């Protein structure tokens, strides 16, 4: 039984995560830290706590500017970081362009995880996803089963949604997976996409699937462009919740997650999105699936991008 979940960063994503943990009663207590003045985390938590009698969720919710509030959390979610937003000239930055600023924040996050909850399973959401997880690994030096990046669940949900819409079927009937890095080179794996167990190609022609997969790769930017300020936050928060729930209830669900590869998929020493079994111990197994030649080439290209950003991270002390 999980008694405490800590959330770092109480902005858009962190706020929805706290609400959902409370609504679904995933732990006995929640600690939310955010450095934003005057005391945003405390304010958000007070707002949610005052509502819990209405939803009959008898849990403790505490927010603070001080990292002390995440002490002894068994699971920690890192959402601290600047999101993408439309620039004054109308352009949209890539996730990689957030690296310099978010690395500084990540170092503070890592130091405080080590200080207050060094045994926690850490799920990181901040962008650029793969690079931030890599940095956390450098700093935390924790067993690889306890450090997981959230991206694949979100990208796959987007793939499922677009396929369901195009095929005119329930999202519940669509299975799909997006692997590789969480950037423009991500790989929607068509050979794994099925509707009620039937290959997706039996429902949709290749050109429609091509367009859907392109939209998946740009889905984050599409939302940023429409919103004007900030980036998607409800679907990323729900994606993190899916991972938390799987761990809390030891479900052993297979979800695409950003994890440390040590020879799997021919990759060594980098965090890349692949299917894993998630359970009470975090990452319990990495699943190696057979990709088509085209998918394998796309995956390798995506890994090259992940490696490049990780090398940039290594250069920052
Ligand atoms: N410690 C704790 N919280 C911090 C720190 C820090 N060192 N630095 C910044 N924060 C907080 C900010 O004060 C802000 O409230 O992180 C929060 C981020 O919230 P938003 O700006 O609303 O961003 P959000 O949409 O939640 O996205 C967070 O996840 O998906 C990624 O690209 C996204 O990197 C971004 C992150």
180 shares its domain with 311: yes
Domain that holds residue 140: 4-149
9 Cα: distance to centroid of ligand 1 (angstroms): 5
- Counting atoms of ligand 1 from 1, which one is nearest the CA of 36? 13
Task: Point out the domain boundary residue: 128, 149, 170.
Answer: 149
- Counting atoms of ligand 1 from 1, which one is nearest the CA of 84? 32
Span of 40-49, 90-99, 180-189 with lowest mean pLDDT? 90-99
Residue 36 Cβ contacting ligand 1 at under 6 Å: yes
Q: Evaluate whether 261 touches 137 at the Cβ level (below 8 Å).
A: no
Residue 99 Cβ contacting ligand 1 at under 6 Å: no
> Into how many domains does the chain fold?
2
Task: Point out the domain boundary residue: 120, 149, 178.
Answer: 149
Q: Evaluate whether 125 touches 150 at the Cβ level (below 8 Å).
A: yes
Eight-state DSSP code of residue 46: H
140 shares its domain with 67: yes
15 shares its domain with 143: yes
Query: Which residue's CA is the closest to the ligand 1 atom numbered 2?
Result: 34
User: CA 305, CA 260: separation in Å to the nearest integer?
Assistant: 15
Q: Which pLDDT score, from 0 to 100, does residue 208 have?
A: 98
Q: What is the pLDDT of residues 143-201, one digit of tens each?
A: 999 999 999 999 999 999 999 999 999 999 999 999 999 999 999 999 999 999 999 99
For the chain, what is the mean pLDDT?
A: 96
Residues across the chain: 317
Q: What is the pLDDT of residues 238-276, one digit of tens each?
A: 999 999 999 999 999 999 999 999 999 999 999 999 999
Give the residue-averaged pLDDT of 103-120.
97
Q: Which pLDDT score, from 0 to 100, does residue 84 have?
A: 84
276 shares its domain with 171: yes
Among 158, 129, 174, 161, which Cα is nearest to 273's?
A: 129
Q: Which pLDDT score, from 0 to 100, does residue 315 have?
A: 87
Q: What is the pLDDT of residues 266-316, one digit of tens each?
A: 999 999 999 999 999 999 999 999 999 999 999 999 999 999 999 999 888
272 shares its domain with 289: yes
198 shares its domain with 217: yes
Confidence grade of residue 2 (pLDDT, cut at 50, 70, 90):
confident
Residue 77 Cβ contacting ligand 1 at under 6 Å: no
CATH of the domain at 29: 3.40.50.720
Best of 17, 63, 82 for a ligand 1 pocket test (most atoms within 8 Å of beta carbon): 82
pLDDT over 90 (residue 81)? yes
Confidence grade of residue 139 (pLDDT, cut at 50, 70, 90):
very high
CATH of the domain at 189: 3.90.110.10
User: CA 241, CA 187: separation in Å to the nearest integer?
Assistant: 23
Among 154, 309, 301, 292, which Cα is nearest to 236's?
A: 154
Task: Point out the domain boundary residue: 93, 123, 149.
Answer: 149
Eight-state DSSP code of residue 81: S
Q: Evaluate whether 80 touches 12 at the Cβ level (below 8 Å).
A: no
Give the residue-averaged pLDDT of 194-222.
98
Burial class (CB in 10 A: 0-12, 13-18, 19+), 214: exposed
59 shares its domain with 170: no
Q: Is this structure's pTM higher than 0.95?
A: yes
pLDDT over 90 (residue 56)? yes
Residue linked to tokens 């060094």: 118
125 shares its domain with 78: yes
Report the catalytic residues: 182
């Amino acid at each position: 039984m999980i008694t405490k979940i800590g959330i770092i960063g109480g902005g858009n994503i962190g706020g929805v995560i706290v609400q959902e943990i409370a609504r679904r009663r995933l732990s006995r207590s929640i600690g939310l830290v955010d450095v934003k003045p005057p005391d945003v985390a405390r304010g958000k938590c007070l707002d949610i706590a005052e509502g819990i009698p209405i939803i009959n969720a008898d849990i403790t919710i505490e927010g603070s500017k001080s990292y002390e509030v995440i002490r002894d959390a068994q699971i920690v979610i890192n959402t601290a970081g600047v999101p993408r937003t439309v620039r004054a000239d109308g352009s949209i930055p890539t996730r990689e362009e957030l690296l310099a600023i978010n690395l500084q924040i990540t170092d503070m996050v890592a130091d405080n995880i080590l200080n207050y909850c060094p045994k926690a399973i850490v799920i990181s959401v901040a962008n650029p996803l793969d690079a931030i997880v890599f940095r956390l690994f450098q700093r935390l030096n924790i067993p690889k089963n306890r450090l997981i990046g959230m991206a694949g669940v979100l990208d796959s949900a987007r793939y499922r949604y677009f396929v369901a819409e195009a095929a005119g079927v329930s999202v519940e009937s669509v299975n799909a997976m997006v692997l590789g890095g969480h950037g423009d080179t991500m790989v929607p794996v068509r050979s794994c996409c099925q509707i009620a167990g039937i290959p997706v190609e039996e429902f949709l022609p290749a050109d429609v699937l091509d367009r859907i997969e392109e939209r998946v790769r740009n889905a984050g930017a599409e939302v940023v462009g429409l919103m004007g300020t900030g980036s998607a936050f409800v679907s990323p928060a729900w994606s993190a919740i899916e991972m938390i729930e799987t761990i809390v209830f030891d479900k052993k669900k297979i979800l695409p997650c950003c994890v440390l590869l040590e020879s799997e998929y021919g990759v060594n020493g980098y965090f890349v999105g692949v299917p894993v079994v998630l359970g009470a111990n975090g990452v319990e197994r990495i699943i190696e699936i057979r990709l088509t030649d085209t998918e394998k080439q796309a995956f390798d290209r995506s890994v090259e991008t992940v490696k490049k950003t990780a090398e940039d991270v290594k250069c920052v002390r």
